[in-house]
C-alpha cells in the first residue's frame, strides 16, 4: 500500500485508453509524408521528430489527457489494490468517498467535487488551447 502501488494501478488502468488514442493518432499520419522525408535524406529519428510527432501531437496529447482523467477517476482498482491511506495513496475519488462516509462530511465532499470539476475544466481548456496552437503551428486553420 504505497505511492508506487497507486501509480502502478493508475498506469495499468489508463494504459489501454492511452494506447488506443496514441495508436490512432500515429496511424492517421500520411505515410507518404514519411516516405518523402526519407527520400529527401532524413533519418528515421529525424522523420519521427520532424514529421510524425508534430502531425500526431494532438492525438498524443488527447491520449495523455484521457489517461490522466481515467487514472484520476479510477475508484475500484485503487480501493482494491492500494487501499485508502490518507496522505499516502488517497486519490480524489477516494477522498470524496471517505468524506461522504464521515458524519457531516458532505461539505468537504462538495468542495472535493468542485476541485474535481475544476480539474476537468482545466484539462479541457488546456487540450483545446494546445490543439489550437498546434493547428496554427502546422499552418492549418483551427477547427
Structure confidence by residue, pLDDT tens digits, 97-140? 888 888 888 888 888 888 888 887 887 788 788 778 877 777 76
Q: What is the dihedral of CA 108, 110, 114, 117, to 10 degrees?
A: 120
What are the C-alpha distances in Å from 6 to residues 46, 72, 75, 100, 128? Answer: 36, 11, 11, 22, 29
Q: What is the pLDDT of residue 119?
A: 82
SS3 content of the chain, % helix, strand, coil (to 5): 80, 0, 20
pLDDT at 143 over 60: no
Q: Higher pLDDT residue, 71 or 121?
A: 121
Phi, psi of 29, deg, nearest 5: -70, 130
Q: What confidence tens digit (pLDDT) does each residue in 31-52 have?
A: 899 999 999 999 999 998 888 9
C-alpha distance across the termini of the chain, in Å: 45
Q: What domains does the chain contain, in order, with CATH numbers?
A: 3-137 (1.10.3720.10)
C-alpha cell at 134: 498546434
Amino acid at each position: 500500500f504505497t505511492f508506487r502501488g497507486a501509480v502502478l494501478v493508475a498506469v495499468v488502468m489508463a494504459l489501454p485508453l492511452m494506447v488506443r488514442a496514441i495508436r490512432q493518432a500515429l496511424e492517421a499520419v500520411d505515410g507518404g509524408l514519411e516516405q518523402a522525408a526519407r527520400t529527401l535524406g532524413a533519418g528515421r529519428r529525424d522523420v519521427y521528430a520532424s514529421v510524425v510527432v508534430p502531425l500526431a501531437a494532438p492525438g498524443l496529447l488527447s491520449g495523455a489527457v484521457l489517461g490522466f482523467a481515467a487514472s484520476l477517476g479510477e475508484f475500484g482498482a485503487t480501493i482494491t489494490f492500494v487501499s485508502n491511506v490518507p496522505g499516502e495513496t488517497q486519490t480524489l475519488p477516494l477522498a470524496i468517498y471517505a468524506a461522504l462516509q464521515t458524519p457531516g462530511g458532505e461539505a468537504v465532499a462538495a468542495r472535493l467535487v468542485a476541485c474535481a470539476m475544476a480539474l476537468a475544466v482545466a484539462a479541457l481548456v488546456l487540450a483545446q488551447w494546445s490543439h489550437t496552437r498546434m493547428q496554427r503551428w502546422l499552418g492549418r486553420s483551427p477547427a
